[in-house]
Amino acid sequence: MAEPRFPPPETLKIALLCLLLPLFSPATASIPSAASTSSDRSCIADERAALLAIKATFFDPNSRLASWQGEDCCSWWGVRCSNRTGHVIKLRLRGNTDDCLSFYGDKLRGEMSYSLVSLQKLRYLDLSCNNFNWSQIPVFLGSLPSLRYLNLSYGFFYGSVPPQLGNLSKLAYLDLTSYSYNQLYSVALSWLSHLSSLKHLVMNHVNLTTAVDWVDEINMLPALKVLYLKQCGLRKTVPFLRRSNITGLEVLDISGNRFHTKIAPNWFWNITSLSALDIRSCGFFGSIPDEIGRMASLEEVYFQGNNLMSTMIPSSFKNLCNLKVLDLRSTNTTGDIRELIEKLPNCHWNKLQQLGLSYNNIGGTLPNWSEPLANLTVLLLSNTNISGAMPSSIWALTKLNILDLCSNKLNGTVREDQLGNLTNLVYLGLGNTHLQIKASSDWIPPFKLQVVLFYSLQLGSEVPPWLRSQTSIQHLQIANTSITTIPDWFWIVFSRADFLDVAYNQITGTLPATLEFMAAKTMDLSNNRFTGMVPKFPINVTYMYLQRNSLSGPLPSDFGAPLLQSLTLYGNLISGTIPSSLFSLEHLEILDLSGNKLSGEVPTYQEDSNPRTRQLIVVNLNSNNLSGEFPLIFRSCPRLVFLDLSYNQFSGNLPLWMGKKFLPILSLLRLRSNMFSGHIPTELTRIDQLQFLDLAENYFSGSIPDSLVNLSAMARTSGYSVLLDEVIATGQGAMYDINYFYELVSVQTKGQQLEFSRGISRVVNLDLSKNKFTGAIP
């Protein structure tokens, strides 16, 4: 496509991962059941008082502890007592798992009460998915000698993990997963050595950067079976253990750490008990060692995001007869697809279910296979160099749920009878290939797709009629497919989809009035030939792309989309004024209305009011007929990075508030070809991040501020500032061509073209030409 794809890459990734995660994720050990059970024995009075003290420290917005009243605390929600002694042995006060990552939601809030120490017989404590308001994990938890199970995951804790947890000598399960990296930390893990009964340890996102001896300290846990240290900032690993004490380890996940060392030798290759190994995105490089063939218990192995340095998997993979999941995506695996298939396990029983080979340098033609892939449910082969026709055997993989062949050199025809064999299919990616789908207009497939990736396929002038039966689709991409018309049923059948992309086609007609009733969160209708007025948007939409159509008339007074984050309408024929409701959208970050016929003033606000548009990052209003003074609304936009008001009819002086106080990270300001006058405010020259400044073709006068030479961000010899680079890298501004800025400062003074002679000595990005400046050049 000629124009960079505009939707942020994260949007697509998140949409697809929601489907892929349940099917392509590491095994997890089962968590013991925690159902609350009441007993016939009444609870002990001191322990009832302790529970009431615990309740008193919590804010309980959803009345989860409403049953905590009366004499028999053993019947309270989340409480279990021993039938023999009456002591409280279990507290399961876990918040709603759907709200784990939300600061609010259905959860208890407050700090942990010291009264917990009174529950000396407590064996099970689950306080996960609650909100402890960034308090520290209390030291007194180390004073519960009977504790076997402790789960504090996603509790919004902050600070150091107390080493006193090492006093819990009977502990078998410990989960300290943090909300995000750098909220919790542990200087070392030596305190773990006392937990000789520990079987299950989870410390995902806990900062362990300084725990340089973590491997040796983990090796002191002889009972350990499950270890999760995902994204912990670990940097050092060891090639081997002098004496391995963790011979029963079954699950190891150290993904997301940055070791930046050879993948072998490494200590984990000698742990033959492993059934799941996850080393995704660890910065490992080199070839996979032959030793993997001795790990006969392996069921799942994840290499994604490491650099296998143009090598192929070793032949010893054939020995992994229990392998169910192999993830080699983005590993620089190189070679012929046939050779790779031949090295996969080929035992008299075949367990391989999920195979990820996307984003590699794998070439050749797909073989006709029956084994070892007969039981595949997931096959990911996108973004490789595979070529040729589709073998008939791929249509014999009848258990497939996910088939992704996008962005390859495959060619030929896919017939409806072939697709029809894949009755369990929910995800079908054939986009950006030379394949053609041949299906009759009345064909009704036996599957129910949720994800369809057909972008850059030649579908013809109409949406494939068989898609009408796919009412479960959540994610549909049919961009750049030569479609010219959208049938009425399209907006109804896909009304529940989260992601709709029909960009870069030649679609004519008007947008339906029913658009507002659709469920889409991302909708890309750009680069088509839509006409008529802009209707109200879907209520849940966050990204709305309508640029480069022929839409006309005024904008709706209310867009009806309170969650909107990005709106691009540039390159249309829209007239009238900008509705004030746009600047009431609390989440709006990207606004591009450039290249239209808008007129009037930009909506403003009263200085004593509280505007809502504080999240704006990119605003592009260039090439319209807008007028009035410099818009006051931008005074309330502290996150603004990119502002382009060029080629309009704005006038008056630039306000004195245009500076670091109100626009602290502004990186690009373009006011070219307006009617601004007066002096350049000195405050403007104090914005540290300002890299591009274009004030040309206005009526500015007076002297140029000497402090202009202090704008060091302009002195970059190439590329963009960090802030602008982030905007462009995520597609939030990819359509803006900022190459129009001159490499040398030019100032039109007394009819002569001059250059700055001092101050900024390197290449700069500034244009002040065709104004009325006087005085000396700074």
pLDDT band per the 50, 70, 90 thresholds, residue 729: low
Kindly report, residue by residue over 152-187, the tens digit of the pLDDT: 999 999 999 999 999 999 999 999 999 888 899 999
Contact status, residue 502 vs residue 529, Cβ threshold 8 Å: no
Single-letter residue type at 29: A
Kindly report, residue by residue over 214-272, the tens digit of the pLDDT: 999 999 999 999 999 999 999 999 999 999 999 999 999 999 999 999 999 999 999 99
Nearest to 313 by CA among 356, 259, 276: 356
Helix (H) or strand (E) holding 702: strand 699-702
Helix spans in 578-736 (H): 722-729
| Chain-centre distance for alpha carbon 394 | 32
Distance (Å, whole) CA 454 – CA 467 = 11
What single DSSP character describes residue 44? Answer: P
| pLDDT over 90 (residue 32) | no
Residue 404: phi and psi, rounded to 5, are -125, 110
Kindly report, residue by residue over 579-622, the tens digit of the pLDDT: 999 988 999 999 999 999 999 999 986 544 555 778 999 999 99
Instruction: Give the up-direction half-sphere exposure of residue 417: CA atoms within 13 A in the CB hemisphere.
Output: 1
pLDDT band per the 50, 70, 90 thresholds, residue 773: confident
Token pair, residue 473, equals: 């689709």
Token pair, residue 624, equals: 């319209």
The confidence score (pLDDT) of residue 29 equals: 36
Residue 324: phi and psi, rounded to 5, are -110, -35
Kindly report, residue by residue over 397-421, the tens digit of the pLDDT: 999 999 999 999 999 999 999 999 9
The confidence score (pLDDT) of residue 216 equals: 96
The confidence score (pLDDT) of residue 720 equals: 67
CA 701 vs CA 472, 675, 760: distances in Å: 62, 12, 22
Greater confidence (730 vs 247) lies with 247
Residue with tokens 């290249």: 595
450's CB contacts (< 8 A; 6+ apart) are: 19, 426, 427, 472, 473, 474, 475
The confidence score (pLDDT) of residue 610 equals: 56
Where is average pLDDT lowest: 536-540, 657-661, 746-750? Answer: 746-750
Kindly report, residue by residue over 441-485, the tens digit of the pLDDT: 999 999 999 999 999 999 999 999 999 999 999 999 999 999 999
Q: What pairing do the DSSP bridges indicate for beta strands 88-92 and 79-81?
A: antiparallel
The 3-state DSSP class for residue 725 equals helix
Query: What whole-number percentage of the chain has pLDDT above 70?
Result: 87
Considering only the C-alpha atoms of the chain, give the largest distance between any 2 of them, rounded to a whole number of Å.
Answer: 99
Residue 121: which region, alpha, beta or left (left: phi > 0; alpha: psi -120 to 50)? alpha
User: CA torsion, points 455, 457, 458, 464, in degrees to nearest 10?
Assistant: -70
Torsion sign over Cα 441, 442, 445, 448: positive
Distance (Å, whole) CA 311 – CA 343 = 13
| pLDDT over 70 (residue 129) | yes
